[in-house]
Amino acid sequence: MQFNVIRSIKRFAVHMPVTVALALICFCVPNNTYAQSDTAQSLTLKQCIDYALKNQPALQQAYINVSIAHATNAISLSGWLPQVGVTGNLTHYIQLPTNFVGNPPAPSRTGVINTAIPGVGVTQTIFNPELIYAAHAAPLYIKQAQEITDSTKIFLVAEVSKSFYNLLLTLQEINVLKEDTVRLFRNYTDAYHQYVGGIVDETDYEEAAITLNNSKAQLKQATENIVPNYANLKQLMGYPPEKQFNVSYDTAQMIQDIAFDTTQQLKYEQRIEFQQLKTNKDIQNEVVNYYRFAFLPTLSGFYNYNYEFENDQFEHLFDNAYPNSYIGLSLSIPIFTGFARVQNLRRAKLQGQLIDWDGVNLRSQIYSEYTTALANYKSNAYNVNVLKDNVTMARRTYNVVTLQYKQGIVAYLNVITAESNLISSEIGYINALSQVLSSKIDLEKSMGDITY
């Protein structure tokens, strides 16, 4: 809709003052390119990160997994507490059992026809290899779950930051293209007046129209890209899709944020992946120790109390009770398990060797990521300074060439070239600024320096 209005303005531009035409085209091109809604709140990068750390579904799942780890440990360690159970038996003999009594022995049926025995049993583990393993491994499983949470936080901080900068890149491109469209509209009207005045031929006027149309097409494309860029940022933040927000940033602060001390030494142990691998190795060592000492006995104590009722007449079964109780120890020693313990120990040691090789591969991967991120950061930081100078020179060149064209000194082709160089320099500088900030994030991530 807005570009149809622009075309209408173009047709009638020659019949109105240039200042009026410029005002109309500025009105038709989106002015508030930073906002999804004028009434929506504005969020800085830090606010976007803080929101993600509180609302992102993947991080909430990581928090839940930490709680699950605590619950799982509580279940595994519950065997150290007394185990209490209630039992009950009700027996009616159809035929009483036969015993041999006397000398010589003679068969005799003994016992009571009806028996009811409710009882309480208590067992207490004194020594158990499985429970010892659970006690040693419990804090490691908590640490493992927390490290997964930390890894998720690092990922969110990095990705939200890069998505934020990518959105800013699009918004800045729109600002540049808006200025470009206004300049080209001015050139278009100038070329038309010069054509009407017989100073230039029709090709200058048509080339100005073509260049203006190309700029409008680029502006339309960049404007449409705002919606998916916002959607991607919302998804990373866990922000409700139906709600709107605007991004807010300080250009001066962004330029200051480019700085990074590239003389820092890479420390592998700062990477969360390295810490996770170390925790996995510690857990595997506990598994090895468990199978190594699996031959140890299991010892537990027990206490049973039975409140027994007996009577041949069922209706009088509960008239009299004959309680009994006893206490004791239970010992279980594995003698031969078909070499299962030996093979389990061998397998656990081999799995530990796999983790060791994972560590070797991880070091190589971290170093590769670090060197790549460092090279990208250095080159992008250099490009920012170079392209910033290019923008200054391109703008000065464009102003000179435009003035020369109006004076009839140069052809309109020179204006097109100068305009093309200016827009390329401006967008190139914006791209370089976004890339250096993104590469800095990659560098911080590769060195384990991202904070949250």
pLDDT in tens, 387-411: 989 999 999 998 998 888 878 788 8
Cβ atoms of 232 and 247 closer than 8 Å? no
Cβ atoms of 442 and 43 closer than 8 Å? no
Cβ atoms of 322 and 130 closer than 8 Å? no
pLDDT in tens, 111-166: 899 999 999 999 999 999 999 999 999 999 999 999 999 999 999 999 999 999 99
Tokens of 152: 């998720």
> From CA 330, how far away is CA 123, in angstroms rounded?
9
Q: Is residue 257 very low, low, confident or very high in pLDDT (cuts 50, 70, 90)?
A: confident
The CATH homologous superfamily to which domain 2-82+128-296+337-447 belongs is Outer membrane efflux proteins (OEP) (1.20.1600.10)
- Domain assignments of the chain as residue spans, ordered by start: 2-82+128-296+337-447
CB atoms within 10 A of CB 359: 17
Would you give the end-to-end CA distance of the chain in angstroms?
Answer: 44
Sequence-distant contacts of 401-405: CB under 8 A, at least 24 apart = 402/187, 405/190
Residue type for position 411: A
Partners of residue 324 on adjacent β-strands: 306
* DSSP class per residue in 120-180: EEEEEEEE-HHHHHHHHHHHHHHHHHHHHHHHHHHHHHHHHHHHHHHHHHHHHHHHHHHHH
In angstroms, how far is CA 402 from the centroid of its own chain? 50
DSSP state of 83: E
Q: What is the largest CA-CA distance in the chain?
A: 148
Question: What pLDDT is recorded for position 134?
Answer: 95
Sheet strands side by side (includes 83-92): 83-92, 114-127, 298-311, 321-332
Q: Is residue 452 very low, low, confident or very high in pLDDT (cuts 50, 70, 90)?
A: confident
Compute the mean pLDDT over every residue in the chain, rounded to the nearest whole number.
87
Sequence-distant contacts of 53-60: CB under 8 A, at least 24 apart = 53/153, 53/156, 53/157, 53/452, 55/237, 55/238, 55/239, 56/152, 56/156, 56/236, 56/237, 56/238, 57/238, 58/152, 58/156, 59/149, 59/152, 59/153, 59/156, 59/238, 60/238
- Predicted TM-score (pTM) of this structure: 0.81
> From CA 134, how far away is CA 141, in angstroms rounded?
10
pLDDT at 29 > cutoff 50? no
